[in-house]
Amino acid sequence: MNTLFVIAGVGVLALVAEIVNLKRWLTIFVMLGLAGALAFLPLYTDHSPSAPVFNRMMLFDGPAVVFTWLIVIISVFWLWMSAGYLRQGGHQTDKTSLVVFVILGAVIMAAFNNMAMLFLGLEILSLSLYTLAGSKKDSLSSIEAAFKYFLMGSFATGFLLFGIALIYGAAHSFDLGTIFGYITQNPETLPGYFYAGVLLMMVGLAFKISAVPFHFWAPDVYEGSPTAITSLMATVVKIAAIAAFWRIFGLAFSFASAGYVKVIYGLVILTLFIPNITAIYQTKAKRMLAYSSVAHVGYILLGFLSAVQQGYVNPLFVIFYLAAYSISSLAAFSVLMKVEENGGSFAGLYYRNPMLAVTMVIALMSMAGIPPMAGFAAKYFVFIIALSAQHPFLVLFAVAMSLVSVYYYFRIIITMFDKNAAVEPITVPWSARIFHMVMLALMLALGLFPSIAPLARIMTF
């Protein structure tokens, strides 16, 4: 709860840093502030039930706390990685504070207890992102990305709001607990417009998590935005959107899940199939990573679908997948940024800077799900719960698709080892070097010691 105040405070302070000329230390200050915000999160070591706060607007229950941890930690890594982007091109304080507001919106999306807060969090996050996507003002594609994102995002928000309105009509409340109670009391007599509301909300949120067929904005926006912002969208924003998705469909509506699991089933198949196939035909690494980011939503939704039960959907495996995927993505995008600064071609990268190439290899292998990297453990958990939930067909399909993904990931790897390419070396500053080391260590550590028991303990609320 106080976490929100701290993050918002950091955002405001970042804005005024321009006046007091603190730009030099701004990024580090923000990183420390975010890390400090974590200290205000409840820990539930005493297994006391969590209570809603702010007039039942927010609820920091176990999963919300874990989602918040993940969002903040990934954000801190992101700030470390993107310090260069924030510093260059002017408007450092504006960009930094917008990023902090993205994080604030993300935390609200992970812990809302009221539909109004969902909308608020989503809009805080999205409005900041629209601006950030267009922050490379001299680039036409950046502006195009911002505009496209804005149009598509507003459209999706419209769907979401309409859905919320219909559900309010049925349940007479925006409060998640009340809606939950309403569904459990009238499981047989839910009106048709309630289901229409559920479906509209699913469309709205599917836009946000970029599930196929609502993903069309993603490749263009990812490609046009500055790479640092792309990586923010692919990690922090994705975690927040999935967290919101889970809070709505895994928690509040879970007793009505029979009504929408088939829709998710369809989303899983489409989201596994289309981006994986499309990614093969991409010639730009950034666009390929965008499609791969969409494809990973397929595995996440598969994990979600398999965890669906009456009453509660356990987000444990979804969270683990998000963590593994976000760290691999950060590593890959960080290398991509360095490559873009030095000509933009991956050809012969290994001979230009072996460390960058090795980081990229490990990151791509992790995303492809090859042991002993983090991505393997994540996919493994998803497959195991999918099989236990009697989805053998989906598992085989997901396996086939992750094979397809190996093809496009490994094309980059092959390019990096091209002996005939230019060999002017790339120098990487020491902070980026340490960042890559940390990412490598995390990818291996999550893969080698994927024990999710501690996570599960925090989640019992």
Binding residues for other proteins, per CB under 8 A?
350, 354, 361, 365, 370-372, 376, 380, 383-384, 387-388, 392, 395-396, 399, 402-403, 406-407, 410-411, 413-414, 417-419, 449-453, 456
Count the Cβ atoms, other than its own, within 10 Å of residue 441. Answer: 10
Looking at beta carbons only, is 159 or 317 nearer to other proteins? 317
Which residue lies nearer to other proteins by CB, 116 or 448? Answer: 448
What distance in Å separates the CA atoms of residue 296 and residue 266, rounded to the nearest whole number? 15
Query: Do the Cβ atoms of 426 and 353 come closer than 8 Å?
Result: yes
Tell me whether residue 193 or residue 417 sits nearer to other proteins (CB atom): 417
Q: Which is nearer to other proteins, 43 or 453 (CB)?
A: 453
Asked if 415 and 346 touch (Cβ cutoff 8 Å), the reply is yes
For residue 316, the minimal CB distance to other proteins (Å) is 10
| 4 contacts 108 by C-beta, under 8 angstroms | yes
CB of 335 to other proteins, least distance (A): 17
Output 72 or 382, the one with its CB closest to other proteins: 382
Label residue 91 exposed, middle or buried (CB < 10 Å: 0-12, 13-18, 19+): middle
Looking at beta carbons only, is 39 or 414 nearer to other proteins? 414
Question: Which amino acid appears at position 290 of this protein?
Answer: A
d(CA 146, CA 137): 10
Least separation in angstroms between residue 407's CB and other proteins is 6
Q: How far is the CB of 445 from other proteins (least distance, A)?
A: 13
Q: Which is nearer to other proteins, 6 or 384 (CB)?
A: 384
- In the complex with other proteins, the residue whose CB is nearer, 96 or 405, is 405
CA distance 30 to 41: 18
Q: Looking at beta carbons only, is 151 or 280 nearer to other proteins?
A: 280
Computed on alpha carbons and rounded to an integer, the radius of gyration of the chain in Å comes to 21
> Considering the complex, what minimum distance in angstroms separates the CB of residue 379 from other proteins?
9
Report the nearest approach of other proteins to the CB of residue 320 (Å): 11
Count of Cβ atoms closer than 10 Å to residue 237 Cβ: 25
DSSP 361-426: HHHHHHHHT-TTSHHHHHHHHHHHHHHHTT-HHHHHHHHHHHHHHHHHHHHHHHHHT-TTS-----
Q: What's the CA gap between 200 and 244, in Å, rounded?
A: 15
Question: Closest approach of Cβ 222 to other proteins, in Å?
Answer: 25
Residue 90 CB, nearest approach to other proteins (Å): 40
Phi, psi of 373 (to 5 degrees): -85, 165
Q: How far is the CB of 415 from other proteins (least distance, A)?
A: 8
Strand partners, 53: 58
DSSP sequence for 433-448:
HHHHHHHHHHHHHHHH
